[in-house]
Amino acid sequence: MHEMSLAEGVLQLLEDAARQQKFEKVITVWLEIGQLSGVEVEAMAFCFDAVTRDSVAQGARLEIVVLPGVGWCMECSQSVPMSEVFGECPHCGGFQMQVTGGTEMRVKELEVA
């Protein structure tokens, strides 16, 4: 489960931000996860709760915003929605797709005290 290491990375970001910006508690974390990132949202939420125990983010609410997958079809030259990395173009049925969005994961915003 790579979500555990991802959650640990998010916690490291939160702890670094707490030291730099001198806050004591994270109340809410808004995390953007791309639909094509390979991150399982439920597993990420579970792992976040597990790794934040006894930390600056203990008890913090995790708000996950799922970003849609987007790709560029090289056959019909259109930007199209994608639900899987190796899927076909919904317009022309072609498979020469280049993913242009939905693979990212980032901390978008924090509410702190």
d(CA 65, CA 22): 26
CB 96 within 8 A of CB 75: yes
Determine the angle formed by the axes of helices 3-21 and 41-51, rounding to 10 degrees: 50
Domain count, the chain: 1
Model confidence pLDDT, tens digit, residues 61-73: 999 999 999 999 9
CATH of the domain at 71: 3.30.2320.80
Which residues are within 8 A (CB) of 63 and not within 5 positions of it... i.e. 6 or more apart? 28, 29, 30, 31
List the domain range (segments joined by +) for residue 87: 3-112
d(CA 99, CA 61): 31
The whole-number pLDDT of residue 1 equals: 59
The model's pTM is 0.90
What 8-state DSSP symbol labels residue 4? H
Which residues of the chain fall short of a pLDDT of 50? none
